[in-house]
Structure 1
Amino acid sequence: MQNGDISDCCQRRREILKTGCSIVGSGIVAGCLGTTDGSSSGDTAPTSPPDKQSMTEDEDPTPYEVTVKPAGTHTFDSVPETYASFPGAWMDIAMALGIKPSAMMSLEEERLKYYRALPGVAVDLDSVETLLDSNDSEFDKEVFYEVDADVHLMDPRILKRYSGWNDDDLEEIEHNVGPILGSMIRFPYERDPYYTLYEAAEKAAEIFQRQERYDAWVDLKDEVFAEIQSRLPDDKPTVGAFIIDFDIEGKSLRAAEIDAFRNDTRTFRKLGVNSAFKGDTYVRYKEIGYEKLLDVDPEYIALIDNLTTENNESFQQTLQAAKNHETLSELTAVQNENFVRSAGTNMGPIIDLFSAEAVAMQLYPDEFGEWPGSVGDVPTEQQLFDRQRVADIINGRV
């Protein structure tokens, strides 16, 4: 099918959506190149009825505008039901609102552990299309046409950077497929603009017209963090945070300023730890050599995103390698095995709670209990938030 044919087909579908005749079933709307029978497997997230303001049964729905910087403003004639995204916070934000992805740039099984730890909430990888075959693949606009997502939860600057597309390419996708509305929140990209986690979540709630679920999330996270913070000791440890990998073999490590404007270190800010690497709040990360690290010698070393990307076995291997290292073994954190895993890049409202619980248990086991090594193995009596309440919000029972 040529791009022109795909474009015409997708345009006809969008005319159908405007009349309110969309197909709602498993949460994936039938597109131009295929259909869905509305069935779902036991492993897929149950699709609950949309909030009242997001119903599409009205013959003449009221258009509404949503502005997401830097992407701009888009007017929706009907509530989007499908989305495509990068692996990251926007997927977890949408999942928190009860909407699983139609397509992702890539998606790995290990990253889905948080949803599998919730009752009745999961993502079936078989139902999620991929926009790239691999990290080495080129971006193909035809794949975007075939996926035919109602909205793309992506920062257009990031999409341009990794795809090599220009503004005309982005405008083509927006005009023929769906708007590109997203913003980089891992850390400020090109310094401006930047949304906090819940500012971005509020934007997604506007896009999908699910403000009731957003409000429920705000109430829940306020309660959970108030309870955790009330139990923290006055004397907080100093933590040296590193991005994803703690490069044992390299001579330089990528350190993060915990107190900077960034979402991936949010867990440690909420727990009030002291940052070992003070500096420019707009720097993505700092290259820290062994000599500098030994000079700082933080009480704890934090591996940001390790909780998401790795399992406990591989984490233990990293710790053991540091203990066996000629130089790194001199660090106080290594000698005391004070390595901490947190979530980061993918952290939306759901993962935010799991990360806070995991880090609280790793830093303060006497108060919160011993960390078992996996988000799915925390004993019920030690859980710092109610899994069922989270699932109820996701499924619209608010």
Structure 2
Amino acid sequence: MSEEIDERVAPTRREYVRYGGAVLGGGLLAGCLGGGDNGDDPTNTATSSETPTATSTNTTTSDGSYTVTMAPMGDVKFDSPPETIFTRLTHLAGMAFALGRGNDVNAMHAPDYYDALWNQFTPRLDGVSLDWTGLYSSWEPSKEKLYELDSDVHLADPASVFALQGWNMADIEEVRNNISPWFGNQFSDSHGAPPDEWTDQYEYYSLWEMFEKVAAVFQEQARYEALAEVHDNLLNTIESGLPPESERPTAVMIGASDLDSIYAYPLDNPGFLTAHVTPLEPVSAFSEDVESTSTVGMEALREANPEVMFALGGMHPDTSISDIRSGFRDDAVGQQIQAVQNDRIYAQGARYQGPILNLFQLEMTAKQLYPDAFGEWPTYTDGAYPEIPTDEQLFDHQRAADIINGDF
């Protein structure tokens, strides 16, 4: 489809897909709000606040159509499961991946970066493959490109797209009506405030609550239930093995690819960015005022003196965790930090994680924080997620692979 589209005469497509509610109907203000959200680049930060979550809604009619409800879209009606999938942030691309639909994704933020990172984990999923290389990089999508992609669903938060420069409410509605619906929720990442125009209809969800709704869009409730059982069992294992708070090491999460500009991330974020950390109830080495800043200096890290440091993105093949470790050891101030002295700088993956990365990262973070309770984390320098013996796995890797592949 040509990128030069006359918006006044663009035909309405996919009339079988429509919104059942009035959430995105007439009456909402057109306009553009400056400022956007943040991806999972270790140099990005996010805001936080607190709002309760809501439960899932999924109804089916006699003609086989079905409706899935999620804020901020409201009720979204489908006649059949979408085939081609547009995404922005990787928590939603990761949900498609978990449902066996990863290779149906046609756009995402930094596709080559995240293809390389996700494929650090696929070697531990027998029979699972993934290729996101060369996809449209959709951090700031253009409406014309969305017409060209002609996706069956946009797994993206319309409120976060509305917040981008160049988008207004009319554009959001045009994409919904002429191409396909929006279905996503981004501000649940840290419970940040959406644009004012969206506040009244916004709700926050956990990673797995959102995954349940996305699974309903694709009519993959059975696959969701199977993975949710794996997740529940993992959480039960973690809960039963947690040491008392007095025996937990102090920890920080950092983005340290550049030691001259170290980013610090809260460990107690209320949103899904810390879905792999919160269940482990870590003790933060930073005071609240330091956690709320985007960058910290080496002196501030020494003052916090964490016993454990998590290096966000350290598992990416283009990031050398060995160089990060040696950089701290070679720094006159950094070498005084307990985590450096005790060789407890650990590589992490991504905060915008889908369900499968969440399982792996819960396992790895548990072993990194509490080796006496959950087993030693192998010394990691590069390559794929370490191969952990079956009897030392905190969740069944083969079971997860079978579910992704539909063999369950």
TM-score range for the pair, normalised by the shorter chain length: 0.7 to 0.9
TM-score (normalised: structure 1): 0.77
The one-letter code of the counterpart of 2:352 is N
Number of residues paired by the alignment?
348
Aligned counterpart, 1:29: none
The one-letter code of the counterpart of 2:279 is K
Match of 1:107 among 87, 104, 111: 111
1:326-348 Cα distance to aligned partner (Å, 9 max, x none)? 32222111222221222333312
Identity %: 31
Give yes or no for contact 2:248–2:370 (8 Å, CA) kept in 1. no
Q: Which runs of 5+ in 2 are unaligned?
A: 19-57, 195-201
Indicate yes or no: 2:277 matched with 1:297: no
Aligned counterpart, 1:275: 284
Matches within 5 A, 1:209-358: 209-234=219-244, 235-242=247-254, 244-245=255-256, 247-250=258-261, 253-279=262-288, 286-307=294-315, 310-311=316-317, 314-358=320-364
Match of 1:368 among 359, 370, 375: 375
Q: Which runs of 5+ in 1 are unaligned?
A: 19-52
Aligned counterpart, 1:118: 125
Q: Which moved more, 1:95-104 or 1:142-151?
A: 95-104
1:283-338 Cα distance to aligned partner (Å, 9 max, x none)? 8755434443322211111223433xx23960111111111123222211122222
Give yes or no for contact 2:314–2:320 (8 Å, CA) kept in 1. no
Matches within 5 A, 1:47-86: 61-86=63-88
The one-letter code of the counterpart of 2:272 is N
Give the drift of 1:196.
0.8
Match of 1:98 among 97, 100, 107: 100
Distance 2:405 2:216 in 1: 17
The one-letter code of the counterpart of 1:230 is S
TM-score (normalised: structure 2): 0.75
Aligned counterpart, 1:188: 191
Distance 2:318 2:361 in 1: 14
Give yes or no for contact 2:100–2:405 (8 Å, CA) kept in 1. yes
Q: Which has the higher contact order (CA 8 A, sep 6+)?
A: 2
Give the drift of 1:354.
1.0
Aligned-partner SS, 2:273? coil
Aligned-partner SS, 1:340? strand
Give the drift of 1:8.
6.1
1:199-225 Cα distance to aligned partner (Å, 9 max, x none)? 111111222222111111221111123
The one-letter code of the counterpart of 2:252 is G
1:33-83 Cα distance to aligned partner (Å, 9 max, x none)? xxxxxxxxxxxxxxxxxxxx999xx9x843322222223332223222221
Give the drift of 1:163.
5.1
Give yes or no for contact 1:257–1:278 (8 Å, CA) kept in 2. no
Give the drift of 1:233.
3.3
Distance 1:152 1:262 in 2: 22
Give the drift of 1:378.
1.6
Once superposed, what is the RMSD of the aligned Cα atoms? 3.3
Distance 1:302 1:370 in 2: 13
The one-letter code of the counterpart of 2:106 is A
Give yes or no for contact 2:11–2:178 (8 Å, CA) kept in 1. no
Aligned-partner SS, 2:111? coil
Aligned-partner SS, 1:334? helix
Give the drift of 1:104.
1.7
1:127-178 Cα distance to aligned partner (Å, 9 max, x none)? x73145xx7xx63322211211111111223223345311111111111111
